[in-house]
Chain A
Amino acid sequence: MNLSFTPATVETDIEQTSRPSLSYWQDAWIRLVANKRAITSLFVIICLLLFAFVAPHTIWRVKHDIQNLDRASEPPWVNRKALVLSDNDTWNDVVVPDAVGEHRAPTSLEVVGEAATSRVRLMWDAVPNSHGYRVYRNIVEPREGAPLGLSIGVVNESTLVSFEDRLDIRQKPYWYSVVALHEDGSEFDTAKTLRVVPQRSIYVSEALALPGVDSAQPGETVALVWHPLGTDYLGRDMLARLMKGAQVSLTIGIVAPLLFMVLGIVIGSVSGYFGGIVDAGLMRFTDFVIALPFLLFMILFKLMFVPPEGEANFLSSVQDFLGIEGGILAMVVALVLLSWPGIARLVRGEVLKIREQGYVEASRLLGAPNRWLIGRHMIPNTMGVVLVSFTFAVPATIFTEAFLSFIGMGVVPPTPSWGSMCNDGIRTMETYPHELLFPALFISITVLAFNLLGDGLRDALDARMRSSE
Chain B
Amino acid sequence: MTEAIRTPKSSVSTSSVWQLVKYALLAMLLMFMLLVCLHAVTLRLEIGSESNAAVDFARNSISLNLGSEPPQLDSTKSTDMVSGQVLGHVMEGLIRYGPNNEILPGIAESWEVSELSATFYLRKNAVWSNGSPVTADDFVFAWQTALDPETASQYAFILYPLKNGEAINTDGADVEDLGAKAIDDFTLKVELEQPTPYFIKLLAFFTYLPINREFYDSRDGTYGTSVEDLIFNGPFTVSKWQHGSSLRLEKNVDYWNSEDIKLDAIDFAYIISDPNAIINLFATKKIVMAGLQAENIERALANRWPVKEHVDGSVFYLGFNHREDRPTSNRNLRKAIQLVCDPEELVYKVLKTPGNRPGESIFPVWLRGVNGYFRDEYPAPKHKPDPDLAREYLVRALTELELSSPPQLIFLTGDSEFSTKHAEYYQSLFKENLGIEVRIDQQIFQQRLAKMTSGDYDIVAAGWGPDYDDVLTFGDLFTSWNANNRGLFKNDELDRNVQIAQQSSDPKTRMEAMNRVQHILYEEAAIIFEYERGSNYVADDRVQGVTRRVVGTDPDYTRAYIVDKAKE
Contact = CB atoms under 8 A, between A and B. Distances in A.
Interface of A: 31, 34-36, 65-67, 69-70, 72, 138-140, 143, 146-147, 149-153, 166-168, 233-234, 308-310, 412-414, 427-428, 430-431, 459-460, 465, 468-469
A152 B347 CA distance: 12
6 contacts: A151-B309, A234-B425, A309-B456, A413-B440, A414-B424, A427-B276
A26 to B, nearest CB: 15
A31 B345 CA distance: 60
B309 A36 contact: no
Nearest to B100: A184
Contacts of B424: 67, 234, 413-414
Interface stretch (B54-62, B349-357, B481-489, B547-555): B349-357
B302 A465 contact: no
Interface string B446-466: 000001000011000000000
B119 interface: no
A22 to B, nearest CB: 14
Nearest to A168: B352
A145 to B, nearest CB: 10
A151 B536 CA distance: 9
Given A34-B8, A139-B302, A150-B536, A465 B2 contact: yes
B176 interface: no
Interface in B1-36: 1-2, 4-6, 8, 13
B354 to A, nearest CB: 5
Q: Name which of B347, B350, B410 has the most chain A CB atoms within 10 A of its CB.
A: B350
Contact of B1 (A146, A151, A427, A459): A459
B350 to A, nearest CB: 6
Interface in B429-450: 439-441
A168 B344 CA distance: 11
Contact of A35 (B4, B309, B410): B4
B304 interface: yes
Contact of B354 (A139, A151, A428, A431): A151
Given A147-B305, A150-B307, A168-B352, A431 B4 contact: no
B400 to A, nearest CB: 22
In order of increasing CB-CB distance, the 8 nearest A-B pairs are: A69-B349, A168-B352, A34-B8, A147-B306, A67-B428, A309-B410, A152-B354, A427-B295
Given A34-B8, A36-B8, A69-B345, 16 more contacts: A35-B4, A67-B424, A69-B425, A138-B301, A147-B306, A147-B307, A150-B354, A151-B309, A234-B428, A309-B451, A309-B457, A413-B427, A427-B276, A427-B293, A459-B5, A465-B2
Contact of A309 (B295, B345, B441): B441
B352 A140 contact: no
A200 to B, nearest CB: 14
Contacts of B354: 150-153, 167
B2 A34 contact: no
Q: Name which of B1, B306, B354 has the most chain A CB atoms within 10 A of its CB.
A: B354
Contacts of B412: 309
A468 B2 CA distance: 9
A153 B348 CA distance: 13
Given A147-B304, A150-B301, A152-B354, A167 B348 contact: yes
A248 to B, nearest CB: 17
> Interface residue tally of chain B, by bracket?
35 or more
B18 to A, nearest CB: 14
Contact of B6 (A412, A460, A465, A469): A469
A69 B352 CA distance: 11
A414 B423 CA distance: 10
Contacts of B1: 459
Contacts of B345: 69
Contacts of A469: 2, 6
B6 to A, nearest CB: 7
B473 to A, nearest CB: 24
B301 A34 contact: no
Given A309-B439, A309-B441, A469-B2, A72 B349 contact: yes
B20 to A, nearest CB: 10
Nearest to A169: B348
B352 A167 contact: yes
Contacts of A72: 349
Contacts of A310: 410, 456
Contacts of A67: 424-425, 428
Q: Name which of A72, A147, A310, A469 has the most chain B CB atoms within 10 A of its CB.
A: A147
B421 interface: yes
A213 to B, nearest CB: 20
B299 interface: yes
Contacts of A308: 441, 451, 456
Contact of A65 (B307, B428, B457): B428
Contacts of B298: 139, 430-431
B509 interface: no
B297 A150 contact: yes
Given A35-B5, A167-B352, A431 B295 contact: yes
Nearest to B2: A469
A75 to B, nearest CB: 14
A140 B304 contact: yes
